[in-house]
Structure 1
Amino acid sequence: MHPTAMLNARMFFDVYGASFASARVADIGAQDVNGSLRDVCPSRFTYIGVDFVAGKGVDVILEDPYRLPFEDQSIDMVVSSSCFEHSELFWVLFLEIVRVLKQPGLLYLNAPSNGEVHRYPLDCWRFYPDSGKALTTWARRSGYDVTLLESYTSKQIGDVWNDFVAVFLKGDRFSHDFPGRITDGFEGFTNGTALGRANNLNPQRYPEDMDKLMLISDLISNRISVKR
């Protein structure tokens, strides 16, 4: 668990957890590797660690990675951090998550937007600014009432990762129950969108790692020009 993954999850629970007196929370990809979302989940919530393999922090082991052992509309929140990039068919998993969510229910998704190859056992995907909108479209075409409350790409803190973060709501008519947004009080992000706010928050054309490479390239070019 890298620093921004933990920070983003903490902010999610701080902002959205206030709307729940109690909640049943399922964490998809819950194995504790240098930290777990269990560490930032409010103590008043019932936390269920779900993963594909046994390990520290895992309460439920999936026999089928695309089938959650929960009844329809039985979970208040599903959270998942640094997991979707390893799922071959993450869009199938997304619909399965929506199935088990109550109305209203929230899905918090954190997945890398860049970074090194890290197979566990596969490394398949990276997520860009409009990934949340695309998943919302997919859910609606599949017959589910899903709304994207907000999404953004967080800036790097102490490592190379930029995390794509999205918060989805099942049950659009309940959006007024969740008036706050992470992006209202957080500036360390780019390419954000938030329901009820201006679109294209902190736009940035190039990813942070590309910006750094371009800066290095410019410095090298300037040095060559000076020598000439």
Structure 2
Amino acid sequence: MHPSAMENGRLFFSTYFEASTPALMLDIGSQDVNGSLRQLAPPGARYVGLDFAAGRGVDVVLDDPYRLPFDDGVADVVVSSSCFEHVDMFWLTFNEVLRVLKPDGLFYLNAPSNGEFHRYPVDCWRFYPDAGEALVRWGTRSGYRPALLESFTTYQHLDIWNDFVAIFVKDADCAMHHADCMLDRIERYMNGRRYGVEGILNPQAATEDGARLHALTGHAKPQQ
């Protein structure tokens, strides 16, 4: 878990949950590698770590990454950090997340928007500013009614990674139950989206690495 991913997780919990929340929280990709979201969760929560392999921080080893061993509508929140890039068909996992969430339940996704090829055991995907809305469209097509509450891309912090962060609510009718946003608490971000607000906030076409390279070399960004 790199530093910005940890900070994003801390901000998510402090924004959306009270310290004493007796919530059922499921963590997909929970193995503790240089830290875990578990240590940031509200102390009153029931936290269950799920992963594809046994290890520190893993309570349940998944036999099938596209089937979570929980009944429909039982979880208050599902979190996943630095994992979806390693899931072959992450959109199927997204549907399972929606299935197990309560109607006003939240899904917190943190996945890289850049960075080196790192297999665990595979490395398939990076997530860009339209990814959250695309997942909403997929969930809707699959029979759910999700909404994207907010999304954004972070700047690098003590490492090479720019994180794509997205918060979803299972049922769009419950979107207004979650008025507070992480976007209100961070100073710098790229390509933000917010429920009920049209367009992209703080748009930036170039990646942070690309923008830095252009500044150093003086070469203009190539036209698409």
Q: Quick check: TM above 0.5?
A: yes
**Over alpha carbons, which structure has the higher Rg?**
1
Contact 1:146 1:172 in 2 (8 A): yes
Contact 1:27 1:80 in 2 (8 A): yes
Question: What is the rounded CA distance, in whole Å, between the counterparts of 1:114 and 1:79 in structure 2?
Answer: 20
CA RMSD of aligned residues (A): 1.4
Question: What is the rounded CA distance, in whole Å, between the counterparts of 1:19 and 1:198 in structure 2?
Answer: 32
Contact 1:28 1:80 in 2 (8 A): yes
2:64 matches 1:64: yes
2:133 matches 1:137: no
Amino acid at match of 1:201: L
Contact 1:27 1:48 in 2 (8 A): yes
Corresponding residue of 1:174: 174
1:61-100 paired onto structure 2 within 5 Å: 61-100=61-100
User: Structure 1: which 5+ residue stretches go unaligned?
Assistant: 220-228
Corresponding residue of 1:5: 5
Corresponding residue of 2:37: 37
Structure 1 consecutive aligned stretches of length 4 or more whose deviation exceeds 6 Å? none
Cα deviation, residue 198, structure 1: 5.5
Aligned length: 219
TM-score when normalising by structure 2? 0.95
Corresponding residue of 1:116: 116
Amino acid at match of 2:170: K
SS of the residue aligned with 1:18?
Answer: coil
Question: What is the rounded CA distance, in whole Å, between the counterparts of 1:151 and 1:173 in structure 2?
Answer: 19
Q: Indicate the percent of aligned positions where both proteins have the same amino acid.
A: 54
- Which protein is richer in helix relative to its size? 1
Corresponding residue of 2:147: 147
Question: What is the rounded CA distance, in whole Å, between the counterparts of 2:82 and 2:8 in structure 1?
Answer: 12
TM-score when normalising by structure 1? 0.93
Contact 1:110 1:164 in 2 (8 A): yes
Amino acid at match of 1:140: T
Contact 2:19 2:42 in 1 (8 A): no
Question: What is the rounded CA distance, in whole Å, between the counterparts of 1:21 and 1:42 in structure 2?
Answer: 6
Question: What is the rounded CA distance, in whole Å, between the counterparts of 2:161 and 2:34 in structure 1?
Answer: 15
Question: What is the rounded CA distance, in whole Å, between the counterparts of 1:133 and 1:58 in structure 2?
Answer: 30
Question: What is the rounded CA distance, in whole Å, between the counterparts of 2:25 and 2:41 in structure 1?
Answer: 8
Question: What is the rounded CA distance, in whole Å, between the counterparts of 2:148 and 2:55 in structure 1?
Answer: 32
Corresponding residue of 2:202: 202
Question: What is the rounded CA distance, in whole Å, between the counterparts of 1:172 and 1:198 in structure 2?
Answer: 16
Cα deviation, residue 19, structure 1: 10
Contact 2:18 2:42 in 1 (8 A): no
